[in-house]
Structures are given as C-alpha cells and as structure tokens.
C-alpha cells in the first residue's frame, strides 16, 4: 500500500510540551501557598505569641498579595516570550519567596520582619515580575526585545529590573509620598 504508518507521523507539540514546566511552577506555588495558609490561624488557635501569629498570617498574606502579579506576569512571558525561561524565572521567584518566612523567623521573630534584610526576598521576587512584565511591554508596546538590550541575558535583565524597582520604591516613592502630604492629615511627630 505504501501509505504512511504511525511510525512515520511526527507527533505534534502539545500544550503540555510547551507549557508543562510553567504549569509545574504554578502548581508548586499553589502547594507552597497551602503550606502557609494555616500557619497563622493554627498558631493563634494553639495559643502562640502575637508575633508568632502575625508571622504566620503575614507569610501567607504577603505571598498572596503578590500572587496575581506573579502568575499573570509569568504566564504572559511564557506565552509571548519564552516558556522555558518563564519557568526558570518562576523557580527563581519561588526560591526568593521561601526566604520571606525563613528570614522573618530566623532574624526577626517576635519583633517582626527584619528590615532591610527581608528585602532580599521581596525585591528579588518583585524583580522577576517586573522583568516579565517589562519584557511584554517592550516587545508589544515598543517593538523592543529586552534580551537584545541586556546582552541576551535574562539574568542581567532580571538584575536590572530588580535594581530599578528597588530604586523606584526606595528613592522615588518617598518623594512622591511627601508631595502628597498636603492632601492628608499631618504626619505623626518623630519620636
């Protein structure tokens, strides 16, 4: 008969082939979130200290406050830029997120998050989201591939995004906040 056999047919690339690694990061994030969800309420239920309960509530709360920004930016990057890079960046993000409860527990404890040390976790994770999102805006809004701008290196681009956001938050936002002061009650007197 001479027709094609099943051995001759090249299998199509599936959605799972393309995005499975990003789906795995997403699923691990969900499990990580569930591992933190009961910590605050259970700590309160079993009579732990106020600082212990606050730590438990905030490790889950802080993770969730960033969840939409993380998931949306990672999946946009995966679909429109590079799925494997999005997954790798997602693992980096999760690594930095695991530092948040750890740094607070070991270096802050009852006193609360150890500022500015906790920024190692937060701003490093924010940098992943900023890199993903800036890459999308640059590509589709400006026609620029940020990888070309950063010597083909996701790591260099990510570090630049982290530094830029850190400088914005610590240098620009205080100026903007001060400019908004006339629209609010007077700040409390310095102690």
Residue ranges per structural domain of the chain: 15-170
Alpha helices in 37-153 (DSSP H): 39-45, 50-65, 67-80, 83-103, 119-137, 146-149
Which residue in the block uniquely carries the two structure tokens 């990888």?
A: 147
- What is the pTM (predicted TM-score) of this model? 0.88
- Which region holds residue 35: left if phi is over 0, alpha if psi is between -120 and 50, else beta? alpha
pLDDT at 15: 85
CA dist list (Å): 87 to 65, 77, 83, 127, 132: 20, 9, 6, 15, 11
pLDDT at 6: 63
Instruction: Kindly give the parts of the chain with pLDDT less than 70.
Output: 1-8, 10
CATH 1.20.120.550 describes domain 15-170: yes
């Amino acid at each position: 008969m001479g027709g094609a056999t099943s051995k001759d047919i090249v299998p199509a690339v599936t959605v799972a082939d393309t995005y499975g690694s990003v789906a795995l990061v997403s699923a691990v994030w969900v499990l990580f979130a569930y591992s933190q969800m009961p910590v605050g309420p259970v700590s309160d239920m079993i009579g732990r200290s106020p600082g212990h309960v606050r730590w438990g509530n905030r490790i889950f709360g802080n993770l969730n406050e960033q969840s939409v920004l993380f998931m949306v930016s990672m999946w946009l990057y995966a679909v429109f830029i590079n799925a494997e890079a999005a997954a790798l960046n997602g693992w980096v993000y999760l690594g930095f997120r695991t530092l948040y409860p750890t740094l607070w527990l070991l270096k802050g404890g009852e006193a609360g998050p150890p500022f500015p040390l906790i920024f190692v976790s937060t701003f490093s994770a924010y940098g992943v989201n900023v890199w993903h999102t800036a890459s999308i805006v640059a590509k589709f809004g400006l026609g620029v591939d940020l990888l070309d701008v950063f010597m083909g290196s996701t790591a260099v681009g990510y570090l630049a995004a982290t530094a830029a956001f850190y400088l914005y938050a610590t240098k620009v936002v205080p100026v903007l906040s001060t400019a908004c002061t006339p629209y609010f009650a007077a700040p409390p007197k310095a102690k």
